[in-house]
Amino acid sequence: MQCDKKSIRIKILDMEEKKLFDRVWTIPSGKISFSYDINNLNNSQIVSIPFPINLEYGTIGFRNHGSENALVENVLIEKIK
């Protein structure tokens, strides 16, 4: 995984160095909004929360959805100086 202030690249190789996955994402600028539905008794309301995008720091995370499965081992995250 390679990150800089404007993009993220994830490249996955197998044991023979054959490319299994290679993708680049552009990091959005400004702010991003997350919406969720508040169910309060008989009342449903969609709430949107804006988050400013600050490229001075970040986070790393993994997700899975539905039938996706993953095993992540031996990950080292270092700040690039």
pLDDT bracket for residue 55 (50, 70, 90): low
77 vs 8, more confident: 8
Half-sphere exposure of 14 (CA within 13 A, CB side): 4
Tens of pLDDT, residue by residue over 62-75, are 777 788 888 888 88
Tens of pLDDT, residue by residue over 19-50, are 999 999 887 778 888 888 877 667 778 888 88
What is the C-alpha to C-alpha distance for residues 39 and 71, in angstroms, rounded to an integer? 34
Statement: residue 76 has pLDDT above 90: no
